[in-house]
Chain A
C-alpha cells in the first residue's frame, strides 16, 4: 500500500491506463509535495498528457488511484491549464473568465475583483475586453493561466503551459507562477518537454514509454546522472573526457605533460544531456 505523507498534496498510486491493447501508463506512482514546483517530463507520446488527464478526471485509470489532500479529488481544489486554448473565440477574455468562474459558484462581485486582480498581476488588463480570437498567442496563453487561478486552487496542473510562447512571455509566466508558489504556497505541477523548465522545479519525475524512470529532486537527478566533463587545451589538440569526480580529473591531468596544457576546464553535463541520457537508456528504470 502506498503511504501518503501529510506533506504531500497529490499522490499518484499505481496508475495504469490501457487503451484497447495498448498500455499507455504502467504502474505510475509518485507523490507531489505540498507547495512544491513539480515537473513531469517526457518525450512526446511518453504518456504525460494521459496522466494529467487522469489527475484532472477527464480520463479514468484502468487501475490505481489519484488522491488529493488524502481524499478523492475535489474539482474546485485544482486549476488546470490545458495544452490547447479552451476559451471561446467570440467572447472577450473577461467574459470567458467570468463564465468559467461562475461554474465554481463564485459570486459575481468576487469574480469581478478576482479577474481584475489576476489580470493586473499578469499584465492582461489592456486585453481584458478584447475578443479572444483577436488576442496574440502570448495573450491567449496568459489568459488560460489566469483562468486556472480564478478559483484560488491549492494546486495548478499545467500541460505544457509555455509551449509555443516566446522567451519574454515564458519568462513573464514563470515569474508570476514562482511568485504565486512562494507567496501563497500554491503547488505547481506541470508537464513539459522543455528540459530547461525543469530547472525551475524542486521535484521532478521523468516518464518514458508509460513508465516512470526517475522521481526525485533536481539535485538528486544531477548527482545521479550528471557526469563531469574535463576539457583540456593542449595547443595543437583538445581533449574532452568524462570524469566521475574532481579527484579523478586531477589524477588524469597529472598523467599529461604539464608543460603542454594551455587551459583546462571542468563542467557538469547539461540538463538536456542528462534528460536525453535517461530517456534513451533502456536500463535506467529506478
Chain B
C-alpha cells in the first residue's frame, strides 16, 4: 500500500493514505454498500465537495429565483446613468442599485449579472450534458465494439469535426429561429443548446473512445468477458466507470467554454438576445469598454469563472469518490 507514495518524489502525498484507511474500515460495519453509497459517504467529508456544492446551490437559486437576490428590473434602461462606475457603498443593501455600476445603456449591472445566471447556466449545463450523453455513447460504442462500427462512427464524426462552428451555428440558428420571426427566448435557447451539441459531440466521442480503448484491455474487463458477462453489463459495470474520467474533465471545463461561446453567437446576431440576459451577452457588450469601463465585463466574467470553478471542483470530487482505485 505504501509503494505509490515512494514513487512520489516529494513527501507531499501524505494526506492521501488517510482516506483509504477510513473507507476501508467503514464498509465493514454495515451491510454491503453500493458504489453510490460509498461515494456519498466519501463526498460528505471532502471540503472541496462541500464548498463547491454550496456555491452551485447558490447559483442554482440565482438561476431559479433571481428576484431573491435583486429587486431591480434588469431591463430598466436610463441613458442618463450610462457608464456609472460601481458604488461600493451600496453593497449588501438590498433594493439599492448600482452595486456593480451601470452599463452603456444605463442598465443595472448587478441585476443583470444575477438575471444572467439562468440563461448561462442552463445553456452551459444542458449543452455539456447533451454532449456527454451523445458523444459518450458514440465513443463507447466505437471504442468497445471496434471494427466497422468504429470506422463508421469515427468517420461520421470527422465530417462534423471539420465543420466551422460559426458556419454551422449561423445556418442552424438562422434556419430554425430567423430574426425576422422574433422567435421566443425558449426557442432560441434550445436551439443554441442543440447547436453546441450538434457541433461538439465528435470531440467528446473521440475522448471517450480513447479512454475505452485503453480500459477494455484491462484484466478485469477480460475477466468479466471470460465469465460470460453480456456486453451491456461489461460496458456499464466495468468499462464506463473506469473510462469516464477524461470526459468528465473535458465536460466540466467545456461548461465554461460554452458559456463564453454563447457570447460569440450573440455577437453574430444568432445567439441569445434581448430580453434574455446572459453572462455571455454582458461580456460581449463590455468588450469595447475594457479600458474605460472594465466593470461591465469584470463582474459577469468573475461570476462565470466562479461558476465554472465550482462545477470543476464538483466534477473532480464526484469522480474521485466514484473511483474505487483512488480510495
Pairing of A with B: no
A interface, CB within 8 angstroms of B: none
